[in-house]
Amino acid sequence: ASFPLLCFRSPLAAPLIFGLLLQAPFTEPSTITQPNFVLLLADDLGIGDVGCYGNDTIRTPNIDRLAKEGVRLTQHISAAPLCTPSRAAFLTGRYPLRSGMDAVNDYRVIFWNAGSGGLPPNETTFAKILQHQGYSTGLIGKWHLGVNCESRNDHCHHPLKHGFDYFYGMPFTLISDCQPTEAPEMDRAFRKKLWLYTQMIGLITLTAVLGRLTGLISVRWKTLTCLAGFSLLFFISWFSSYGFVRYWNCIMMRNHGITEQPMVTDRTTSLILNESISFIERNKHKPFLLFLSFLHSHTPLLTTEKFLGRSRHGLYGDNVEEMDWMVGQVLDAIDKEGLKDTTLVYFASDHGGWLERQEGKRQLGGWNGIYKGGKAMGGWEGGIRVPGIFRWPGVLPAGRVIDEPTSLMDIYPTVVHLAGGAVPQDRVLDGRDLLPLLRGAVAHSEHEFLFHYCGVHLHAVRWHQKDTGAVWKAHYVTPNFSPPGAGACYERGFCPCFGEGVTHHEPPLLFELSRDPSEAKPLSADTEPLFDTVIRRIGRAIEEHGRTLTPVPEQLSVSNVVWKPWLQPCCGTFPFCWCDKEGDN
């Protein structure tokens, strides 16, 4: 009891107390009523593509500035290794299979604007809660969570049905088909098969007609007519969708209206940036949520002339550097309006970089640093470990680095709490409020276990053993790299989740990530004394997690994913869908 008194009597006490009084304390979040939120989400950006995460050849000064002025997460985990399920989890704070937004088949993302699957109307996004708290909410950029359910204009999956007051951007995702000069990307292998079958049927039909005309074969003209009709119908059945991908999927919308069909890619970047800055300027006098969902750095890597040839990593590096410039422009707009101290800025990527995305010798996908694997791989770190940066001057300490496991799903409760809202109590939430961890009020993340899915198939589980600081990760299923040892599925273009393209492990592959973040040396009962104990504990966690799952409609079933002409968004009279309202303006 006498120790504090002795301390204050020391000659150092006066300058120490004076220094403490001069030190600017961090503002309690409760004293800032409803901060603004600017959420920046990159597309297909690898964790190894950013300067503050170790890249010294791609220049990202604005993202690096965010990290310097805020908190950088080194173990920030996406809930899925592909766009659609990852974004569903981000917006709902729930593993995507809870909302039916993960796939049992190979169609693991929304494939068409005219599909009927999408983020279910009964899901509550953080935008919807903030809307009820009086926020102006805007989504600029990529959606990729569906549009319609039963008719062309019901917009049941549209951003405006999920809590956003304003939407400008792509309801789908950027693909190489959107750029007329690029080779088709969407369902490339399947399209080649369909074209081959069409040629084979056509050749059979032509041979039969020539045989009938020359008298070499005896066949009725009625049969030949039916064969020719079947050949034509087969061609129309697939070409009516795949032959017009650019018109059906590459569109831009403002709220419910289509502004460009197809999109004019030369001006997309400037329009998205201008819309983002305009949203901040329009809403500066009231609390707002801006979700800027970048089209960068997804192929075809739309990059303006100003940035072409600037980086040391070809077109991909140019594209990342342009995105960093866009981040800087948004930060400048926040500063210009005097909103820096009342705005929480967050930057992340939806999942890891796409290793297999190549054209000849050109690498068009990202780099995941020291981490194994990439996009589409549900278990390996390279597919799910992403950049994660928070900045809120005066509230979050500058330059702080946190190595604890965190998730993109954590944005949901964090944002809702800060906005003064309440998270839904009628469903399981998998995200955790990050604010105490970000501010340093607690030492450990609330996540003890994180479950890593590939589609609906559980591939790996992470256990954060808080008493020792160990982070164990057990892999039950891993993809078979092709060619073997290549580190990715180059021969397929994507790694699969099930079937002949994966290996099941019994016992599972076990790694301790704090000692082996690259997952290079699997442990065994011979090399790790705790092996059996860890595997049993993770096994119990899987059973407990399984009891929280309930059956829901599959949004990515084949019947929901296929193109349906009656659901196709169209700015004319279907099928004559073409407009350029931005050009008219």
450 found inside a domain: no
| Predicted confidence (pLDDT) per residue in 355-372, tens digit | 999 988 889 999 999 999
Looking at the fold, whether 296 and 333 belong to one and the same domain comes out as: yes
Q: Is 436 exposed, middle or buried (0-12, 13-18, 19+ CB in 10 A)?
A: middle
Among 76, 83, 155, 157, the active-site one is 83
184 secondary structure, DSSP code: P
Mark whether 135 and 210 lie in a shared domain.
no
Residue 307 forms part of a structural domain: yes
Q: Enter the tokens of residue 189.
A: 């292998």
Same domain, 40 and 154: yes
Distance CA(187)–CA(216), nearest Å, equals: 40
Residue 146, phi then psi, degrees to nearest 5: 95, 165
- Measure the CA angle with vertex 104, ends 100 and 108; round to 5°: 75
Residue type, 311: S
579 is catalytic: no
The residue segments making up the domain with residue 232 are 188-242
> What does DSSP assign to residue 293?
E
Tens-digit pLDDT profile for residues 178-219: 998 888 888 778 888 898 999 999 998 998 889 888 888 888
Residue among 366, 436, 282, 397 nearest 49 (CA): 366
Helix (H, G, I), strand (E, B) or coil at 452: strand
Cβ neighbour number for residue 514 with a 10 Å cutoff: 15
Pairing of strands 36-42, 362-363: unpaired
What pTM did the predictor assign? 0.92
Assess contact for 165 and 289: CB atoms under 8 A: no
Read off the tokens for 331: 């930060």
As a whole number of angstroms, the distance between CA 462 and CA 477 comes to 14
Which of helix, strand or coil describes residue 289? strand
Query: CA torsion angle for 130, 154, 259, 568 (degrees, to 10)?
Result: 130
What's the total number of domains in the chain? 2
Check whether residue 231 and residue 365 sit in a common domain: no
CA distances in angstroms from 246 to 172, 240, 503, listed in the order given: 11, 12, 37
Task: Give one DSSP letter per residue of 10-55, joined into a string.
Answer: STTHHHHHHHHHHSPPPPPGGGS-S-EEEEEEESS--GGGSGGGT-
> How many residues appear in the chain?
585
Active site residue 144: yes
155/205 same-domain check: no
Burial code of 345-360, b = ≥16 C-beta within 10 A, e = fewer?
bbbbbbbbbbbbbeee
DSSP-derived letter for residue 189 is: H
In this structure, the answer to whether residues 215 and 113 fall within a common structural domain is no
Q: Which residue has the tokens 């808080």?
A: 466
Q: Is 114 among the domain residues? A: yes
Domain boundary among 242, 263, 284: 242
Residue type, 337: E
Same structural domain for residues 114 and 143?
yes
Note whether 346 and 413 are same-domain residues: yes
Helix locations, 40-181, DSSP H: 61-69, 83-92, 126-132
User: Which of 462, 464, 466 lies closest to 474 in space, CA to CA?
Assistant: 462
Please name which of 448, 451, 449, 446 lies closest in space to residue 433, comparing C-alpha atoms.
446
Counting beta carbons within 10 angstroms of the beta carbon of residue 394, is it exposed (0 to 12), middle (13 to 18) or buried (19 or more)? middle
Q: Could you give the 3-state DSSP secondary structure of residue 73? A: strand
Tracing tokens 């707002």 back to the chain, one arrives at 288
Structure token digits, residue 141 = 């950029």
Judgement on whether residues 213 and 85 belong to the same structural domain of the protein = no
The answer to whether residue 28 is domain-embedded is no
- Domain match, 52 and 153 both: yes
Instruction: Kindly state the DSSP code that residue 81 receives in the 8-state scheme.
Output: S
What amino acid occupies position 202? G
In angstroms and rounded to an integer, the radius of gyration of the C-alpha atoms of the chain is: 26
Nearest CA-CA partner of 59 in 317, 297, 330:
317
Burial of 324 (0-12, 13-18, 19+ CB in 10 A): buried
Position 250 scores a pLDDT of: 97
Asked whether residue 18 is domain-assigned, the answer is: no
330-to-277, 333, 337 alpha-carbon distances in Å? 6, 5, 11
Give, for all 585 residues of the chain, the pLDDT tens digit: 333 333 333 444 444 434 443 444 466 665 567 999 999 999 999 999 999 999 999 999 999 999 999 999 999 999 999 999 999 999 999 999 999 999 999 999 999 999 999 999 999 999 999 999 999 999 999 999 999 999 999 999 999 999 999 999 999 999 999 998 888 888 778 888 898 999 999 998 998 889 888 888 888 888 889 989 999 999 988 888 899 999 999 999 999 999 999 999 999 999 999 999 999 999 999 999 999 999 999 999 999 999 999 999 999 999 999 999 999 999 999 999 999 999 999 999 999 999 999 988 889 999 999 999 999 999 999 999 999 999 999 999 999 999 999 999 999 999 999 999 999 999 999 999 999 999 999 999 999 999 999 999 999 999 999 899 999 999 999 999 999 999 999 999 999 999 999 999 999 999 999 999 999 999 999 999 999 999 999 999 999 999 999 999 999 999 999 999 999 999 999 999 999 999 876
- 497, part of any domain: no
Q: Report d(CA 292, CA 407) in Å as an integer.
A: 19
The SS3 of residue 188 is: helix
| Residue 63 shares a structural domain with residue 207 | no
How many CA atoms, within 13 angstroms, populate the side-chain half-sphere of residue 52?
A: 25
- How crowded is residue 27: how many other Cβ atoms within 10 Å of its Cβ? 15
The answer to whether residues 141 and 214 belong to one domain is no
> DSSP string spanning 329-378?
HHHHHHHHTT-GGGEEEEEEESS---TT-EETTEE-S---TTSS--TT-S
Q: Which of 200, 225, 242 is the last residue of a domain?
A: 242
Q: Which one of the listed residues 7, 52, 76, 144 is annotated catalytic?
A: 144
> Do the domain assignments include residue 292?
yes
Sorted by sequence, the CB contacts under 8 Å of residue 467 that are 6+ apart come out as none
465 within a domain of the structure (yes/no) = no
Q: How many CA atoms lie within 13 A of 356 on its CB side?
A: 21
Q: Which two tokens stand for residue 22?
A: 């001069």
